[in-house]
Amino acid sequence: MTTSHYIAGRWVEGQGSDCISVNDPALGQPFAELMAASVAQVDQAVTAARGALPAWKNTSASERATYLRGFAEQLGQRREALITLQMRNNGKPRHEAEIDLDDAIATFSYYAELAEQLPSKNRDVPLVAPGFTARTRLEPVGVVGLIVPWNFPLVTSAWKLAPALAAGCTVVLKPSEVTPLIEQAYGQIADALGLPAGVLNIVNGKAETGAALSNHNGLDKLSFTGSNSVGSQVMRSASAQCRPVTLELGGKSAIVVFDDCDVDQAVEWIVAGITWNAGQMCSATSRLLVQDGIADALLTRLQAALENLRVGNPLTEEVDMGPLTSQAQWLKVASYFATAREEGLQCLAGGKALDRDGWFVSPTLYADVPKDSRLWTEEIFGPVLCARRFATEEQAIAEANDSRFGLVATVCSADLERAERVADALEVGHVWINSVQAVFVETSWGGTKGSGIGRELGPWGLSAYQSVKHVTRCLG
């Protein structure tokens, strides 16, 4: 696994100082290793992208769409291998890994269609003033650095790669060092399709590699998905160059359950929102706000549902939830269990790491959690749910909005007029009503407050990689 970097259309060995160990979290053991890219190799990747930009941005939209459809088709041809790798390196249950792959395929297909619908490069703009004409051009923003996380590899990279390529940008992709293997499929597909050398480059590494990419003066834009702490560093790097940045960061999202809701249905939505991907989601609805009239019955059912979840190795067992993806994340979640004990929180389910091989924790529920608890205010990134009760709609909205994050929320109510009203009042980027967290490529993704800057998916995802140029001509 030494030739792990795809630069200027060639696979090359890593020349960095870091050795990346790739682990199976269900066993807590490595199964591959690779050498990180050096700072010089990051520079080579950016240089290759810069060199490929003039020709790529001048390809026709239909030609770029053909390549994007090729990515979708090739992902489908690699289906079983990619699903297995998601299960092995991320610990995802099979049904989650299948959805990840389908999401990536749908993303490339969608942006292929959107590319074909792009208007001609010139669009006339009517002016009130006589004696002038005006037109606009949509142009690719240029060379883009893409930094993606470990919790949804393949998916998050598709959300960035597909619109960037559709817009006519060239890219340098840096996967997470926790899950560096699956994104190599994109380099393999680029080879198979004959994508021009330098249009797509992939460099693997740890913090040094990410910093080298973020700080490179050859980039025109940065797009980052990950933690707030690293996101702030990426933003500082972008500010030094005065270049645009898209940030999709953390969350501490609320799920609001009103007392007219069917209890069993509500439990299904709550469990999905906190245990999908073992809770390792920026969108995890980890704050449960439940109305007084239904609280006791719902918490009792919820406790039983969490205790009955099948937790295990997705490669050898039929499971509902797999392990945490890394030892570092396992230790972090365990530290919150210790904090909960120190704070004297009421634990109804879980609250512990599991005594078995691998990085497993139990699905966890704490009841009546104070608003000043660290578990209520901080992003844990694990299957840890904190519950509070509310009396009125106004109180629910106020408590849901009382967060430095603003990514997503869920509203559960049989009164659809109320549900829509509450959805409009929540200070977040995406709201589900009476649903699991179904994400569609046609919709937007991104948050408010500390949850980031900009939007991905939908037409907004494409416009994030486009620059608007205006040309005004005097007729005199």
Cβ-count burial 57-86 (b if 16+ within 10 Å, e if not) = beeebeebbebbbbbbebbeebeeebbebb
The full length of the chain comes to 476
Nearest CA-CA partner of 75 in 64, 85, 61: 85
How is residue 179 written in tokens?
């899950």
Q: How far, in Å, CA of 73 to CA of 67, rounded?
A: 10
Give the ranges where 286-411 is alpha helix by DSSP (H). Answer: 292-307, 327-343, 374-377, 393-401
Cβ-count burial 374-401 (b if 16+ within 10 Å, e if not) = ebbbebbbbbbbbbbbbeebeebbebbb
347 is catalytic: no
How is residue 276 written in tokens?
């999908």
282 is catalytic: yes
Contact 369, 345 (CB under 8 A): yes
Q: Out of 177, 248, 379, 399, which one is annotated catalytic?
A: 248
Q: Out of 169, 261, 282, 386, which one is annotated catalytic?
A: 282
Nearest CA-CA partner of 292 in 386, 370, 395, 364: 395
- Write out the catalytic residue numbers: 248, 282
